[in-house]
Every structure is written in C-alpha cells, then in structure tokens.
A and B are shown apart, each in its own frame.
Chain A
Amino acid sequence: MKMDARTVPIVPATPPSRKDGAFEYLTTRKDELIGWARKFSLFPYPFVTACCAMEFMAVSASPYDTDRFGAALPRFSPRQADLLMVVGTVTHKQAPVLLKVYEQMCEPKWVMAFGVCATSGGFYQNYATLLGIDRIIPVDVYVPGCPPRPEMVIDGIMQLQAKIARSSHPIVTQAF
C-alpha cells in the first residue's frame, strides 16, 4: 500500500546562541534544574494493550514500585501526561489510535516502548501487527522482553531519567 511517508517532529534542540560564558553557565544550570524536576515527576500515559500489562501492573504496585521514581501517577488524558508508555502489541487497527494519542500530548513528551512487541513487533511478524511503534512515532527508550521483568522496566525508567537530565530544556532562551 503506497503511502506518503511522514515526518514526526521531535523536540527541537536549542541552537547554542551564546554570547558569553556566563549565559552558557546559566542555561546549563537551568537545564539541569528543569531536567531534575522533570525526570522525577513523570506522568505516564499507560497505553496498555496486551500481556505486558501484567508486568506494568506489577511494576506499578508494591514491591516494584514506580512511585519511588516519581512515575507512578498515571494520567489517562494525553493532554496531562508526558510519558507515553506503549505497553504491549500495537496492531494496524490500533495504530491510528496510538498516533492520535501521541499527537494530543503536549511537549515535552517522551515515549517508552515497553516490551518487544512495541519495540519490533515481537514474534508476531504478520499482516496484523505494526512491527515496532517507531514506524509511526519516535521512541526514546526501548525496554525489550516478553514481557520484561519489572527490574528491566525500572532500568528503562532510570535510563529515560538520565536522558531527560542530560537533554536541553528550551523554555527560556536569550530572547526571553
């Protein structure tokens, strides 16, 4: 089925518009502060479809608690969430729904592909399955596993937190 490919915008990197070292120091500190705040207050949107939901429930509950990482409170409205956790297989029937939810989320947003079906289609390499959600939306963290153990999910969240901490957060520029 011939279709035009699409480009999905990702968070644009701030061009370094530095005039002097002091400004650069301030923006780095600002990025670190905002990154620290954002990484410890993730509001996941659990886009749950399949078996990985069992491990998602297990990782949200005790003893593997995502609340320790600030990532426990799910927000079931995409407008209020910033982490889209795609948990389980996404089929072609579900793909427009996933895309709509992703595009309704406001910046900054991150995507976690939870499970090997969301990463690459898993072992359902057939007509029905979308072979990896990165075919339609950009993904920040891939957590493989069928289903992944809760420790792997927590590792994925921590890696995402490291990514958020080291990325730039362009809410204040020199023009401000």
Chain B
Amino acid sequence: MAATALDTLQQQMVPAAGAALLSHGTLAFTLAPAELVPTVRRLRDEFGFDIFLDVTAVDWPAAALRFEVVHHFYSTAHKARVRLKTRVAEADPTLDSLVGLYGSAAFMERECHDMYGIVFRGNHDLRPILLYEGFVGHPLRKDYPKQREQPLVPYRT
C-alpha cells in the first residue's frame, strides 16, 4: 500500500516539487527553498502526511550552497515516508518555518538552528535548546572543532 501511495505522490508532486528519488523505501524530493511550505502544505492536506518527524541539515563545506536541510514526514494512513531536501547558502542560511503547520516544528527547528545555524523564518523562538546561553558557534558544522569547550563555570585549581 505504501508503494502505490508513493507512486501517486511521485507522479503528482514531481512537476512542482522537483526531482524525486526512492531511497531505501523513502521517497526523497529535492526542492527549491521557496517551494518548501507549499509542498509541505500539500503533503499534509492532500496526501495525509500527518506526522512531521524531523528536520536536520547536512554540511557540505565545499559546495556553493553549503547546507542541505532535510525534512522527514510520515503518513499514518498510507504508512509511507517522505524526505524533502533543500539547499541554503552559508551567507544566508534562512528557510521558511513549518511552525504554522506542525506543532513539532518548534523544537525540531530550534535544534537545527542550534547545531547548524539555520534560521527559520517565522519561528520566533529560536533559543538554544540543546546548547546553552552564551555558547558561540554551531557545533555540528564541519569547521567547529569537536574538542572546543566553552565552560560556564571556571575550573578549580
């Protein structure tokens, strides 16, 4: 059932959404950033993708558009999964937020902002969630050294 749902999805979404690829059972679309919210709205309303699983980013430092932001969705009705990939540049890592569509977007986008510095336009609460106030930098970027500590409490002598 999932396979037929994904086929229908692929046929209907590809013209607007961009290239699609079936990757290990998940249908992956590559989109332009402007297409993101309309596509997600269609996925939720027309195709029944009611659970927004996660948003994360992959850092490709050598590429012109450095960050590849990846969203995953799940449909409880069709038992199918979809992945949406968009690219943003390092100079302006801004993307539209999904807080208006899904409640889980609030925390997920905060985490992506913490780790990579992706700014979600429309999410007014991008406070650090996994990191702390005063932490400078975005640790999951490839140029952040793993061992660089930023302690809050001075060490004992």
**In the complex, is A directly touching B at CB under 8 Å?**
yes
| A residues at B contact (CB < 8 Å) | 1, 3-8, 92-93, 95-96, 99, 125-128, 130-131, 134-138
Main secondary structure of the interface of A (DSSP, over half): loop
Main secondary structure of the interface of B (DSSP, over half): loop
**Is A5 a contact partner of B153 (Cβ separation < 8 A)?**
no
Knowing that A93-B131, A125-B147 are A-B contacts, what are 6 other residue pairs whose CB atoms are under 8 Å apart, sorted by A's residue number? A92-B153, A93-B152, A95-B152, A128-B131, A136-B155, A136-B156
List residues of chain B with CB within 8 A of the CB of A95.
151-153
Interface status of B93 (Cβ within 8 A of chain A): no
**Is A135 a contact partner of B139 (Cβ separation < 8 A)?**
no
Tell me which residues from 123 to 157 in chain B have a Cβ below 8 Å from any Cβ of chain A: 131-132, 139, 144-157
The residue that A127 contacts in the complex, of B149, B152, B155, B156, with Cβ under 8 A, is B149
List residues of chain B with CB within 8 A of the CB of A3.
151, 154-155
**Is A96 a contact partner of B148 (Cβ separation < 8 A)?**
no
List residues of chain A with CB within 8 A of the CB of B148.
127
- The smallest C-beta distance from B115 to any residue of chain A, in angstroms, reads 11
**Is B150 a contact partner of A6 (Cβ separation < 8 A)?**
no
List residues of chain B with CB within 8 A of the CB of A93.
131-132, 152
Q: How far is the CA of A136 from the CA of B146 in the complex (A)?
A: 21
List residues of chain B with CB within 8 A of the CB of A136.
153, 155-156
List residues of chain B with CB within 8 A of the CB of A96.
152-153
Q: How far is the CA of A126 from the CA of B148 in the complex (A)?
A: 7
